[in-house]
Copies of this chain bind each other. A is one copy, B any other.
């Protein structure tokens, strides 16, 4: 797939505007005959579907359930099997940690060490408030090791993220985690020669942290895994000459957007604030990635009704997006999260593209099964970006 090369050759800067509305985890499965989207009252999305071209997308390929990272990369036009985002980086983005070119991050657990053995890898799932206190203590007392700056960021319960900042760091490091209880402490090992100094520094950091925590009853040591440097992705501007903005309430999606070079707009935690932000900044950008989280959260909770309500709530904002008169408006999701399965799934995403330059089809109801009859057919989500750019007049002819 030469899409990146073709994109760089054919994309042109124009004044046209694209809005990509991602209803996270939108796709579902039938419960009593209807999916969440089919059960929801969505007059605005249905009206829009009637004037749009529809289809179904596979985030990676049929059968593959993607994490949020690959699912979004694909929607932004990046081959999700080529650009792999480490667990550490996703965890860091999820708690709002900024990761730069000289940073190394890892996922951490506070754990219980006894007589040289890790007896509880989760330190009895200490309360999040205790986690926050411990991280504060470590940040106050353990600022630097071997000239590398150290920062701890609390997550939920026993989880945290650690960031190492400095020159010459490598993420070619094995997990410093025995993976099960009752095993001895495992230091990290360098997986390539240039990671030797990083391994020494990480192990020294772990020893110092354990020393500082020695009087805690449960959380008296740390485990680290999923070491990741900052992934190097070409930006949306480099690939497509876009000046893109991300409009999202949650850190993970803001972080993903930043990785591909989007400007992350300042947005509060509620759904209306997403649409306020698009309106406020509409003149300053030519591409808006708008992320609605509620649909996915409700699906993860297995809450069919809550997901249906989240869909209906989002439907109410469609007229506000349309009143901006974007050249292209796409409504889709990154992956499916059927409440029936209480998690991400491999099922394809409904996809709708509204533009003056689009073929219209017979789809008059925005749903998984109606979209399967759309003119776009079933396609890999990586083609969403070429389709959006083409319909916005941002791709010139390929070849003579």
Is the Cβ of A387 less than 8 Å from the Cβ of B62?
yes
Closest residue to A389 on the B side, CB-wise? B63
Interface membership of A383, Cβ < 8 A: yes
Is the Cβ of A400 less than 8 Å from the Cβ of B68?
yes
Write the A345-366 contact mask toward B (1 if CB under 8 angstroms, else 0).
1110000000001111110000
Contact partners of A376 in chain B: CB under 8 A: 62, 378
Closest residue to A90 on the B side, CB-wise? B400
Interface membership of A30, Cβ < 8 A: yes
Contact partners of A387 in chain B: CB under 8 A: 62-63, 346
Q: Which of B85, B341, B396, B398 lies in contact with A400, CB distance below 8 A?
A: B85
Contact partners of A85 in chain B: CB under 8 A: 399-400
Contact partners of A378 in chain B: CB under 8 A: 376-377, 379
Is the Cβ of B67 less than 8 Å from the Cβ of A6?
no
Interface membership of A368, Cβ < 8 A: yes
Q: Which of B64, B81, B377, B398 lies in contact with A64, CB distance below 8 A?
A: B398
Bound Cα distance from A67 to B80, whole angstroms:
29
Contact partners of A373 in chain B: CB under 8 A: 373
Contact partners of A375 in chain B: CB under 8 A: 56, 368-369, 372
Bound Cα distance from A398 to B65, whole angstroms:
6
Closest residue to A1 on the B side, CB-wise? B61
Query: Which residues 372-400 in A have Cβ within 8 Å of B in the complex?
Result: 372-373, 375-379, 383, 385-390, 395-400
Is the Cβ of B63 less than 8 Å from the Cβ of A399?
no
Contact partners of A398 in chain B: CB under 8 A: 60, 64-67, 70, 80
Q: Which of B63, B65, B80, B379 lies in contact with A396, CB distance below 8 A?
A: B65
Is the Cβ of B10 less than 8 Å from the Cβ of A397?
no
A262 to chain B, nearest CB (A): 19
Bound Cα distance from A357 to B66, whole angstroms:
16
Q: Which of B64, B345, B372, B399 lies in contact with A70, CB distance below 8 A?
A: B399
Give the interface centre of A70, A80, A90, A386 by most chain B CB atoms within 10 Å. A386
Is the Cβ of A397 less than 8 Å from the Cβ of B61?
no
Is the Cβ of B359 less than 8 Å from the Cβ of A347?
yes
A137 to chain B, nearest CB (A): 28
Interface membership of A155, Cβ < 8 A: no
Is the Cβ of B372 less than 8 Å from the Cβ of A377?
yes
Is the Cβ of A63 less than 8 Å from the Cβ of B386?
yes
Is the Cβ of A64 less than 8 Å from the Cβ of B379?
no
Interface membership of A3, Cβ < 8 A: yes
Is the Cβ of B397 less than 8 Å from the Cβ of A62?
no
Contact partners of A69 in chain B: CB under 8 A: 399-400
Bound Cα distance from A35 to B396, whole angstroms:
23
Interface membership of A29, Cβ < 8 A: yes
Query: Which residues 248-300 in A have Cβ within 8 Å of B in the complex?
Result: none
Closest residue to A64 on the B side, CB-wise? B398
Contact partners of A215 in chain B: CB under 8 A: none
Pull 10 A–B residue pairs with CB atoms less than 8 Å apart, ordered by A.
Answer: A29-B358, A30-B359, A62-B386, A63-B387, A65-B390, A67-B399, A70-B398, A80-B398, A344-B397, A373-B373
Interface residues, chain A, with chain B CB atoms under 8 Å away: 1-3, 6, 10, 29-30, 35, 56, 60-70, 80-81, 84-87, 90-91, 340-341, 344-347, 357-362, 368-369, 372-373, 375-379, 383, 385-390, 395-400
